[in-house]
Amino acid sequence: MSQYEFPRRQRLLSAGDYRHVFDNATYKVHGKGLLALACNNDSGHPRLGLVISKKSARRAVDRNRVKRVTRESFRLRQHRLPAVDIVILARRGITELDNATLYRQLHGLWRRLEKQVHHASVSDT
């Protein structure tokens, strides 16, 4: 089961990590209530960062639920994702999605991100 863990090395930890993604986002994927920004990294594996503001989810319980579901979805999907740093931004309306819908949104978001990175790497060669 060690292949499905979510250790520190797979997280964006510092403000500099987040700033790098915001400044150099080469991939953008939109979903209902979600936006993913991503840029290539040199670590050889994907890394995840979350930005769930009070503006998008007023109650702490809602922000924590979105974070928990997003981390779980990433943890299960990480082996298929390319080596990119990803920041997930929550937008207004995210609290209206139940867990099952949020999982579906995230699943589609990961797939679209994979395709974007794959198409970019194919066109670069």
Q: What is the pLDDT of residues 53-82, one digit of tens each?
A: 999 999 999 999 999 999 999 999 999 999
Answer for the pair 63, 57: CB distance below 8 angstroms, yes or no. yes
For each of the domains in the chain, give its residue range(s) and CATH number, in order of start.
2-120 (3.30.230.10)
The pLDDT assigned to 82 comes to 92
- Report angle CA 75, 21, 74 to the nearest 5 degrees: 10
CA distances from 104 to 71, 97, 108 (A): 14, 10, 6
Determine how many CB atoms are found less than 10 A away from the CB of residue 98: 10
Q: What is the pLDDT of residues 81-110, one digit of tens each?
A: 999 999 999 999 999 999 999 999 999 999
Cα separation of the two ends of the chain: 35
> What is the reported pLDDT for 105?
95
Quote the pLDDT of residue 1.
45
Rounded Cα gap, residues 108 and 110, in angstroms: 5
pLDDT score of 2: 52
Predicted confidence at residue 125, as pLDDT, reads 60
pLDDT at 113 over 80: yes
Are the CB atoms for 73 and 86 separated by under 8 Å?
no
Interval 38-57: pLDDT, tens: 999 998 899 999 999 999 99
Half-sphere exposure (Cβ direction) of 105: Cα atoms closer than 13 Å: 23
CA dist 20 and 25 (Å) reads 8
Residue 70: per-residue pLDDT: 96
Query: Higher model confidence: residue 39 or residue 119?
Result: 39
Contact criterion met (CB below 8 Å) for 49 and 15: no
Antiparallel, parallel or unpaired: β 34-40 and 27-31: antiparallel
